[in-house]
Amino acid sequence: MKFDLVNDDVYELLRQVQPSVIISALRGPFSDQLEAHELMVSYAQETGCRIIFLSSANVFDAFSNYPSYENDKTLSQSIYGKLKIRVETLLMRHLPEKQYAIVRLPMVFGVGSPRIQALKNELLLGDAIEVFPHLVMNTTTDAKLRQQIHYIINRKLSGIFHLGSTDLIHHKEFIHELVIMLDLNRKPIYKNVYTSNTDRYLAVLPRDNRLPKHLQITNETVVESSKKYI
């Protein structure tokens, strides 16, 4: 069953499918995303189904001096981050906590992921690779995220979750580690982008809702997973 965010009615789709859990990872026009989530909340209010919302570290992108934890105040300067905050607020205001899980994500990599494919293409074409030397971040993989969401659903966990790697790394260092791992015999051309004169953080770390150790990941593991793409 296909769904068109702009032209289809998500409420009618949900009535047909009758899910007990909705995993929301929508992309598309921001106004349509917001409307779709309003309809999801209405459906959840009527049926008691749960919503797993994939949010982003960008809900904290106005704060740059430290990593962010689950119950920290959100504040964003980006349109993307502001949208995520609006959807998070919608869930928290209109549903009991037991009916939602807000999953905040860092940059997501993994086997065949768009970011890895883009990096490989830039290397092969000799294009400049944008790196942010002062950005401190954490990461994850699509495979690890699937495991974590599976666990959250099966254990009926709720609330806010930060599902990034347990350690932090500078963006430029991380990208360079990926380049080494890809081993494409191409010399990378880096374009350094400086948005500040000092280190700035865009990282989501767990404090209150930690998942078991086997569901945690490190930046090193994220990098190692990329070699399977070759």
pLDDT at 3: 82
Residues above pLDDT 70, as percent of the chain: 99
Q: Which domain holds residue 89?
A: 10-229
Residue 64 has pLDDT above 50, yes or no: yes
In a domain, 91, yes or no: yes
In a domain, 5, yes or no: no
pLDDT tens for 129-149 read 999 999 999 999 999 999 999
pLDDT at 225: 87
Residue 18 has pLDDT above 90, yes or no: yes
Unique residue bearing structure tokens 């570290």: 57
pLDDT tens for 180-191 read 999 899 999 999
Mean pLDDT for 46-71 is: 97
In a domain, 164, yes or no: yes
pLDDT tens for 214-230 read 999 999 999 998 775 44
In a domain, 4, yes or no: no
In a domain, 2, yes or no: no
Mean of per-residue pLDDT scores for the chain: 95
pLDDT tens for 105-115 read 999 998 889 99
CATH number for the domain including 219?
Answer: 3.40.50.720
Mean pLDDT for 34-57 is: 98
Residues above pLDDT 90, as percent of the chain: 90
Mean pLDDT for 84-90 is: 99
In a domain, 1, yes or no: no
Number of domains in the chain: 1
In a domain, 203, yes or no: yes
pLDDT at 228: 59
Segments of 43-183 assigned E as strands: 50-56, 100-105, 107-109, 128-131, 135-137, 139-141, 159-162, 169-170
Q: Are 131 and 193 in contact (CB under 8 A)?
A: yes
Give the global pTM.
0.94
